[in-house]
Amino acid sequence: MDQANAQALWQRAIDFHGHTCPGIAIGYRAAVYAMELLELEFSDDEQVVCITENDACGVDAIQSILGCSVGKGNLLFHLRGKQAFSFYRRSTGQSVRLVLNPRPRGLSREDSLRWILEKPAAELFAVKKPTIALPESARLFDSYVCDCCGEVTGANWIRLSGDKKLCLDCYSTYDRFNV
C-alpha cells in the first residue's frame, strides 16, 4: 500500500473514532496488515468478517477501514480482553488471527502511539491461525409479538411458555440450581 492510501485510511479511522489514540492505532495497524495478508478490501456486505476479542478503540478502525459492522453481521465480539482480531475472507476461505505483541513498559501515551505506528507489522503482531471457524453468514429471522410485553422480537430470541410466545426479558428460565 502506498503512503497516500495508508494516510487516507489512518485519517478515515481517526475521523470515525473522533480522536487519535494508541487504541485506534492498534486497530488501524491490524486492519491494514489483514488487508495485506489476505488481500482484503472494504466489505460492502459480508465478504470480510472480523471477530474481535475486545471492545476497545481499535474496533472503530476495523469498522471504518474494512467495513465490518455489527449491523451487517460481519463484526462479531468474542470478548476475551485481548488485543486480538481474527479476519476472514469468505471468497477464498483464508483467515488470520492477529495478536498484538506486548509493548515496552513505561512508554508515555505519545511514545506508545509512535511505537504502534512505526513498528513493522510482522513485529507488532503475532500472526496465528484463528481459534474460531468462519461464522455462517447472518441470518434473517421471522418476528413475533411477545405475548407478555407486546414488543416485536426475532424468532431466535422467542421462548415458548405454555401456549405463549415470550421474549427473553419476559421469559423465566427454569434452573433448579440457581434459585
164-167 and 75-77 as β-strands: parallel, antiparallel, unpaired? unpaired
| The pLDDT value given to residue 140 | 87
**Residue at 99: amino acid letter:** V
| Global confidence as pTM | 0.87
Evaluate whether 56 touches 82 at the Cβ level (below 8 Å): no
**Per-10-residue mean pLDDT, the chain, length 179:** 94 98 98 98 96 98 98 96 98 97 96 97 98 91 96 95 96 81
Residue 2 makes CB contacts below 8 A (sequence gap 6+) with none
- Give the C-alpha separation, 132 to 17, whole Å: 27
On the 0-12 / 13-18 / 19+ scale of CB atoms within 10 A, 73 is middle
| The pLDDT value given to residue 178 | 75
The cell 511505537 sits on which residue?
Answer: 115
Where are the CATH 3.30.1330.130 domain residues in the chain?
3-128
158-161 and 125-128 as β-strands: parallel, antiparallel, unpaired? unpaired
Q: Which CATH class is domain 3-128?
A: alpha beta
How long, in residues, is the chain?
179
| Nearest Cα to Cα of residue 134 among 163, 173, 91, 179 | 91
- Give the C-alpha separation, 60 to 12, whole Å: 10
| The pLDDT value given to residue 104 | 95
Q: For the chain, what percentages of helix, strand and coil (3-state, to nearest 5) are there?
A: 30, 20, 45
| The pLDDT value given to residue 112 | 97
| The pLDDT value given to residue 64 | 98
| The pLDDT value given to residue 179 | 64
**Residue at 68: amino acid letter:** C
| The pLDDT value given to residue 174 | 78
